[in-house]
Amino acid sequence: MTASGHLWALGYDDMGRADHVRDEIVRLGWVTHSLLLDDVAVVVRHPDGAFTFNREPYHVPTHILGCSALGFLVGLVLAAPVTGASIGAALGAAGAAAVTSVGIGEDFVREVEGLMKPGTSALFVLDDEGDMDLILHGLRGLGGTVLKTNVDVERAKLIQSTLATSSPDASTTPKSG
């Protein structure tokens, strides 16, 4: 399945909603930093039964990408730039390898595809623990149904009820689910 983290598959009754919610989830991870995202993907099941899988690359946080530069700077301070750069590059490579080894497993995707009806979509999210209050606030009213997850039942129920709860600006956000 996955190396670690919370794995979610959220289902939607139309083919476009999962993609819109994906943008909001990425905003929670990238802009507000309240959700620690490892991977996101969208699967659409077309009316003819065919599937489209969209895993747009989720950009690696800059602190991992900056490891080699940090190592170089440490090396300069220690008057050993080659060693510092080598250490930084090794740290950067190790960080990048850790990020690329984590992902949504194909088996998990196939199981969820078996649950999807034609004309629907699903959003897959792999995350690590973040600020739960901010996450719940960001998810409020986005709609959808938890199709499958690897978290405990209580957390899944909390997320499901939050997705279904109306948000103050729900009148401006179309939703289905």
Residues 6+ apart with CB under 8 A from 19: 42, 44, 54, 121, 123
User: Would you state the pLDDT for residue 60?
Assistant: 45
pLDDT > 70 in the chain, percent? 65
Mean pLDDT over each residue of the chain, to the nearest integer: 75
Q: What is the pLDDT of residue 133?
A: 87
Domain ranges of the chain: 6-55+104-172, 62-98
> Which phi and psi angles does 64 have, rounded to 5°?
-75, -40
Q: What is the pLDDT of residue 4?
A: 65
- Domain 6-55+104-172 in this protein, CATH class: alpha beta
Beta bridge partners of 53: 43
**Interval 28-44 mean pLDDT:** 87
Measured between alpha carbons, how far is 87 from 77 in angstroms, rounded to an integer? 14
Average pLDDT of the segment spanning 113-121: 96
Q: Is residue 172 predicted with pLDDT exceeding 50?
A: no
| pTM of the entire predicted model | 0.69
